[in-house]
Copies of this chain bind each other. A is one copy, B any other.
Amino acid sequence: MTSKRDKKTGLRGRAATVGLDKAQIVNAAIEQIDQRGLAAFSMRELARTLGVSPAVIYWHVGGRQEDLFAEVSAVITAALADEFEPEQSWQERLRSVFRRYRHLVHQHPKVAPLLGAQMKSNGVANLVWVETVLAALAEAGFAGESLRDAFNVLIGGLSGFVTMELAPPPADDSSGWQQTFAERVESIDAESFPHTHAVLPLISNRIFVLRWQNGADVSYDSSFELLLDIIIDGLTLRAQQQGVSRR
């Protein structure tokens, strides 16, 4: 039965009945990370769910796990290349593109560490994205070293925020870290840490260091919007100063 020829490909045997390609592998990998998290991801497990020998992943995708992760990042950030309405000001275009970035990562929160904490993934070089940001900044009047700094402020500050926001909790919390930590936060000493204690009900599990759930469970929308406002306003101010100080 495996010796019959496949009508589409003309191949014989197992090779014909599998017909896997890179896109399917990458999509299956995303699904697996979405479900079990990055720490639990495994090449062998992926091969198992695809019903295939582990070696085929290496054949299709390249020699290392990092290659697969780079593909995963590329697929998830691909929509950053979508068009913008051209009548928007440079400020509005920047706002849109970084809101869009955050939205995309939020659809796959467990992939966030790949984008934020691995160079081969965050440098997967969505050139359209880079061009969009650089064009907006050039229009604002940035050039030379100040353009470089402005770009890094945007990516470092805003993508960095999203990375922190979605930092994953312990993989298998059988030891009850979340519960233990929650209790520890609730019982912070009023005399040693008066300001912290005073605002405990408002900040508990809702600020970055004293929390046991991440941005997938607790909203950081208003904090992100504030950072976005502050950065865009700050760049607007400095773009003007810069325009004045040059010739």
A22 to B61 alpha-carbon distance, docked (Å): 42
Interface centre among A120, A145, A164 (most CB of B within 10 A): A164
Instruction: Looking at the assembled complex, report how far the CB atom of A210 sits from the nearest CB atom of chain B, in whole angstroms.
Output: 6
- Contact residues of A between 188 and 217, Cβ < 8 Å to B: 188, 192-196, 199, 202-203, 206-212, 214
Q: Name which residue of chain B comes closest to A67, CB basis.
A: B175
Contacts of A203 in B (CB 8 A): 134, 147-148, 151
State the oligomeric state as a number of copies: 2
Contact A119 B169 (CB under 8 A): yes
The reply to whether A164 and B163 contact each other, CB–CB distance below 8 Å, is: yes
23 A-B Cβ contacts within 8 A? A66-B170, A117-B168, A122-B209, A123-B210, A123-B212, A125-B181, A125-B209, A125-B210, A135-B195, A147-B199, A147-B203, A148-B207, A155-B209, A156-B164, A157-B158, A157-B231, A159-B160, A159-B164, A159-B208, A160-B164, A163-B163, A163-B164, A231-B231
Across the interface, A156 reaches (CB within 8 A) one of B135, B147, B175, B223, namely: B223
The residues of B that contact A134 with a CB separation of less than 8 Å are 195-196, 199, 203
Interface of A, helix, strand, loop or mixed by DSSP: helix
Among B116, B125, B161, B168, which residue has its beta carbon within 8 angstroms of that of A157?
B161
Q: Smallest Cβ distance from A207 to chain B, in angstroms? A: 5
- Asked whether B118 lies within 8 Å of A168 as measured between CB atoms, the reply is yes
